[in-house]
Amino acid sequence: MMLGYLFPGQGTVRVGMGAWMRRRPAARERLDQVDALLTRPITPLCARGPLDRLVATEHAQVAVTACNLAALAVLEEEGYEPAVVAGHSVGELTALHAAGVLDLAATVRLVETRARLMAGVGATGGMRAVMGLPVERVEELAEAASAPGEPAVVGLENAPGHVVVSGAPPALDRVTALATDANKVVPLQVGNAFHSPLMADAVPGWAQAVRAAPMRAPRVPVVPNVTGEPTTDLATLREALIAQLTGRVLWTRTVAAIEACAPGVEVGDSKVLTGLSRRAEARCLSMSDPGTLRRLAKAVAA
């Protein structure tokens, strides 16, 4: 059975993440491999926290990637192969690994580099989810709230009625005040204004790391965040990975592209992307749901 693999991003971290994976030999081995490749093992922090340290950018991105890789190992052990892959924000690195573009060592090196560079920008901004409004309206709000030196932009189109604005704190406060027609505006627990111009200082180092990383042509199409369109062109994938740091995550379009190819499965320890897919009326199961593997096996046998 061919599936669309969706790999979650940084906003899915929690203490205890990856616990179910330790019961699967393939996942346990992959977590051990990732720990061995890292400058400092991440699984103890995933298991025991503390939460304030785990959610810090330099740790959260590594933790999510480790769990994504472990969940992927379970699917590989079960004999599944993707028809198409995508990853939400930092999850795009695991998607590239699943497609054969990056080997395990390169994936781990890149996520450590990405996390370090993005954390190094400093706390210059934040992010807020605007619920219940179309993206066009949220774009208007962000533009109206922006001021010289205080930008606000749409950073992520997560799903219909779920749009995230990234920007300087005063601009985000103005977005909240202006969004009287929204269902609600929710501050996100992140360290900066990801996917916005405020991350520009991290781009040169990231571009250097991505261009130096060994990559191979993908075995299956990858849907980059910044285009939302499947591609097997390696040059496009490399440049899209660089652009993603300051570019908008077109997740609604990405989910539609996956849905057009195959049913989706969220490969990690999260149900966030499964929920976003359902908001977009797309099919998706979560690996963190104990019944998912049973349902997949039943579908294959049918």
Contact 74, 26 (CB under 8 A): yes
59 flagged as catalytic: no
Catalytic residue among 162, 195, 196, 288: 195
Both tokens of 90, joined, read: 């930092």
Residue type, 223: V
195 flagged as catalytic: yes
CA distances from 210 to 158, 192, 245, 261 (A): 25, 21, 12, 28
Catalytic residue among 59, 88, 89, 286: 89
- Measured distance CA(177)–CA(173) in Å, rounded: 6
Both tokens of 145, joined, read: 């709230």
Residues 6+ apart with CB under 8 A from 33: 104
* Catalytically annotated residues: 89, 195
